[in-house]
Amino acid sequence: MKKVYIYKGFERFWHWTQASLIIFLAFTGFEVHGTFTILGFEHAARYHRVASWMLIALIVFAIFWHFVTGEWRQYIPTTKKLKEQILYYAFGMFKGGHHPTQKTQLRKLNPLQRMVYLGFKLFLVPVTIISGVFYMLHKTIDQNNVVVIENIPLEGIALWHTLGAFLLIVFLVIHVYMTTTGHTPTSNIRAMITGYEELENEDENEETTTGEKPKSNHIQEEKK
């Protein structure tokens, strides 16, 4: 095993901030819907609105960062070893099977994660945010008759926003569960805090199977 620097500083900041904002938005959103009363309707609605704009700003900055650094390539979908990855999560990992894909600094996501996270970024988040913005601006964006949101039924906007919110919660629960499927139940979470993750030494495996010396690896690592 070796320690590899996988997650950059901004990547970790963006991950934890986004998760915190989504959880807070779910909490205030449920109170706005009348599920419970803790902050009070007016405070919950105000905090929900502020947190939503903070999340939008974070996402815009994250998009910029992904394109500038080239990290957007991590989400390019592929079907290579996709079946093996699904079978591993469904059966293999419960039987002590070997992980079908090797995580590296340049390939942080396995094929299934790429597709799920791409759907999260291109469908789930946009649906929730756009419907939320339409809901907030339903009575104000049409003042100059530029865009008439009132022609869209408020009930329909609320339905899409609520659906997106529930799907985000489902995604969050599954995501937290999947973090426990690493080498130890807390290794993935620890990696997202420190940036370093313990990975199998692929170079040593290559030397063992081919009899050739591995090429130099420029990834920051700390061999145990």
Question: What distances in angstroms separate CA 45 from CA 7, 42, 64, 135, one per listed residue?
Answer: 34, 5, 29, 12
Helix, strand, coil % over all residues of the chain, rounded to 5: 65, 5, 30
User: 1 or 158: which carries more pLDDT confidence?
Assistant: 158
- The tally of domains found in the chain comes to 1
Q: What band does 147 get if pLDDT is binned at 50, 70 and 90? A: low
Extract the tokens encoding 147.
């865009």
Kindly give, in sequence order, each residue whose CB lies less than 8 Å from that of residue 21, ignoring residues fewer than 6 positions away. 51, 54, 55, 58
* 45-66 average pLDDT score: 95
Q: What band does 45 get if pLDDT is binned at 50, 70 and 90? A: very high
Distance CA 166, CA 34 (A): 15
- Residue 105 pLDDT: 83
Extract the tokens encoding 9.
């500083």
* 50-58 average pLDDT score: 96
Q: Which tens digit of pLDDT belongs to each residue from 165-203?
A: 999 999 999 999 999 988 888 989 999 999 999 887 755
Kindly give, in sequence order, each residue whose CB lies less than 8 Å from that of residue 97, ignoring residues fewer than 6 positions away. 88, 91
Extract the tokens encoding 201.
């030494």
- Mean pLDDT for the chain overall: 84
Other Cβ atoms less than 10 A from the Cβ of 113: the count is: 17
What is residue 5's three-state secondary structure?
A: strand
Distance CA 27, CA 66 (A): 29
- Residue 123 pLDDT: 94
Q: Which tens digit of pLDDT belongs to each residue from 86-124?
A: 999 998 888 888 889 888 888 899 999 999 999 999 999
Q: Which tens digit of pLDDT belongs to each residue from 198-216?
A: 887 755 444 333 334 444 3
Q: Judging by DSSP bridges, how do beta strands 2-5 and 196-199 pair with one another?
A: antiparallel
Q: Which neighbouring-strand residues pair with 197? A: 4
Q: What is the CATH number of the domain that holds 176?
A: 1.20.950.20
- Provide the residue range defining the domain that includes 160: 2-223
